[in-house]
Amino acid sequence: MIEPSRREFIGGAAAATATAAALTVAQSAHAQASGELKVALVGCGGRGTGAVAQHLLNDGVKLVAMADAFEDKVNGAHNNLNKKFKEKMDVPKEKRFFGFDAYKEAIDLADVVILATSPGFRPLHFEYAIKQGKHVFMEKPVATDMPGIRKVLAAAKMADEKGLKVVVGLQRRYQKSYMDAYAAVKDGAIGQIISGHVQWNGGGVWVRPRQDDQTEMQYQMRNWYYFNWLCGDHITEQHVHNLDIANWFIGEVPISAEGMGGREVRNGIDNGEIYDHHFVKYHYKSGAIVSSQCRHIKGCHNGVYEYLAGTKGHGRVGKFKTWSGENIENGDGGEVEYKNPYEEEHFRLIRAIRNDEPLNNAYYGATSTATSIIGRLATYSGKLVKMEDAMKSEISLMPDDFAWDAPAPVVPDDNGYYPIAVPGKFKPV
């Protein structure tokens, strides 16, 4: 099975070569690893609080800084974490930062950074952390547009040059059942994968109604799931998990996508600009075709899984059978310290730092996020979107200025409704 080519994906860039300066950074990071690791949390919502809690389960780590755009998020997360991890926290008020630039102050104080803001900020924060010589855990997805993907890939290369370790929160890659299933597929148990189906169909997520005293930027930041510059639509924010499994097991990144989607029930003034359903067909260079669907509509038949079909067998990941119906045994994907993959990914990061083991998930984090983005571009436009073309796109979803009174990237009409992508009219790249 051919593993995804970093070089091919980023357009033939030369392989990373360690410079003298990078070696100095790597040696310094390794020296720090022998003592207590100082940790900073950037993004103090539910996922960020959960991620740092999982990180603090390990020995020899201490939370020393916290940052978020909102002050109440920082203080709320601090209070919750302090109840369980008081001995592993050293975050007095002067090391709790808030505002759009708060991430810099927190990152500067740490050895390891946990990036868990809304996804649109991930490229900016990741790039800064790597430039400052920090090891990183960052949540998925890693961007919401292709300029962001390119920024992440460039920072990933810089991380390699500096000997920094990076883990991305696509936790299925650290889940024992998936690791064992992958080992079986890699050993040829189901033959060459020729097709698949991946999905995340559920009832949807929270809505946070507009408050009278909010600026448009404040409203969108609080209600981030419904705006593409922050979330990337649920095909990117959530369904990236399933798409990452397809890429991982097939060993490739799709070359193109085509699909359809829309808004059937998610069409109120509190639902921003995202769709409530997407259906995409992904084409791979090997000839494999994967169908993908994700839906946020209550009362429907729901399910979250990945199915693959090969020349020798097929089935949901981890429950493969031969075409004659015989069960296929999983392989041995290696040992895990924690049964919970959310905890395992943090353990692996710390172990890599302390032992100076190569570890950089940013490449597949970027390629799988890019896979979700071309899916969104395909459903919004109704056109066939090629990965090669999309990767060159200069269309950025991010605002020009980050301030509470700055113009938001998208604004509502006089009735409070946001513009919605219309297939046939939307420009994908």
Contacts of 415 (CB under 8 A, 6+ apart): 269
One-letter amino acid identity for 45?
A: G
pLDDT at 361: 98
First-to-final CA distance of the chain: 31
- Per-block mean pLDDT, blocks of 10 residues, the chain (429 long): 41 40 47 79 98 98 98 98 97 98 98 98 98 98 98 98 98 98 98 98 95 96 98 98 98 98 95 98 98 98 97 98 98 97 98 98 98 98 98 97 97 97 97
What is the torsional sign of CA 208, 55, 317, 140?
positive
The answer to whether residues 283 and 253 touch, using CB atoms and an 8 Å cutoff, is no
pLDDT at 34: 65
Q: What does pTM read for this prediction? A: 0.93
Report the alpha-carbon distance of residue 69 to residue 97 in Å, rounded: 8
The single-letter DSSP state of residue 225 is G
- Helix, strand and coil content of the chain, in percent to the nearest 5, comes to 40, 20, 45
Residue with tokens 């998610």: 266
One-letter amino acid identity for 213?
A: D
Beta strand ranges found along 335-417 (DSSP E)? 385-386
Report the alpha-carbon distance of residue 208 to residue 361 in Å, rounded: 32
The answer to whether residues 310 and 249 touch, using CB atoms and an 8 Å cutoff, is no
List the domain boundaries for the chain.
Answer: 6-172+341-359, 189-333+369-391
Report the alpha-carbon distance of residue 365 to residue 136 in Å, rounded: 13
* Number of continuous H segments (helices) and E segments (strands) in the chain: 14, 14
Nearest to 349 by CA among 55, 125, 74: 55
> Two tokens at 266?
């998610």
Report the alpha-carbon distance of residue 208 to residue 377 in Å, rounded: 26
Domain 189-333+369-391 in this protein, CATH class: alpha beta
The answer to whether residues 357 and 135 touch, using CB atoms and an 8 Å cutoff, is no
CA angle 100/102/104 to nearest 5° reads 115
CATH 3.20.20.60 for domain 6-172+341-359, yes or no, is no
